[in-house]
């Protein structure tokens, strides 16, 4: 059972299938992930708007003030890749909420939000298992 709320209010633009972080300035609101941020889940896979030809809207999961579905710990969903990903990789957020492999060497704590269940490349949507945690890489 997920440990995160099934819906959250956006406090900015959040694109589908991107990592989400808590907005520390506004309770109960989320923002699209940024580089190596503390992740709370993955945004829904589509937009809240119906596919109507005469309705011009962006392809966002949500914009400020709108609710969106949030996938949490233990759930499976789609995540957009920001780099080459191999199944089994622990994934963290890049600068715009896409999934990239954590660093395995260095001194910076790596905050991950999912494990890749498929291989992928930049822009691909891959199936992931949401798993929120952190890991200290090996020091070189």
Model pLDDT for residues 86-112, shown as the tens digit of each residue: 999 999 999 999 999 999 999 999 999
d(CA 67, CA 29): 9
Model pLDDT for residues 40-93, shown as the tens digit of each residue: 999 999 887 766 666 655 689 999 999 999 999 999 999 999 999 999 999 999
Residue 4 has pLDDT above 60, yes or no: no
d(CA 13, CA 9): 11
Contact 108, 102 (CB under 8 A): no
What pLDDT score does 98 carry?
98
Confidence tier at 129 by pLDDT (50, 70, 90): very high
Confidence tier at 26 by pLDDT (50, 70, 90): confident
Contact 98, 132 (CB under 8 A): no
What pLDDT score does 23 carry?
94
Residue 138 has pLDDT above 90, yes or no: no
Higher pLDDT: 1 or 65? It is 65
Q: Is the overall model pTM greater than 0.75, yes or no?
A: yes
b/e map 17-41, b = 16+ CB within 10 Å: bbbbbbbeeeeebbbbbeebbebbb
């Amino acid at each position: 059972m997920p440990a995160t709320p099934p819906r959250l209010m956006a406090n900015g633009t959040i694109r589908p299938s991107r990592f989400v972080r808590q907005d520390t300035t506004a309770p109960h609101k989320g923002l699209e992930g940024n580089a190596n941020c503390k992740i709370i889940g993955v945004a829904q896979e589509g937009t809240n708007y119906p596919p109507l030809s005469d309705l011009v809207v962006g392809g966002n999961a949500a914009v400020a003030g709108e609710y969106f579905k949030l996938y949490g710990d233990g759930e499976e969903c789609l995540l957009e890749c920001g780099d080459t990903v191999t199944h089994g990789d622990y994934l963290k957020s890049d600068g715009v909420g896409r999934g990239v492999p954590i660093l395995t060497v260095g001194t910076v704590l790596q905050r991950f939000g999912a494990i890749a269940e498929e291989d992928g490349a930049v822009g691909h949507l891959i199936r992931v298992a949401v798993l929120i945690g952190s890991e200290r890489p090996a020091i070189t």
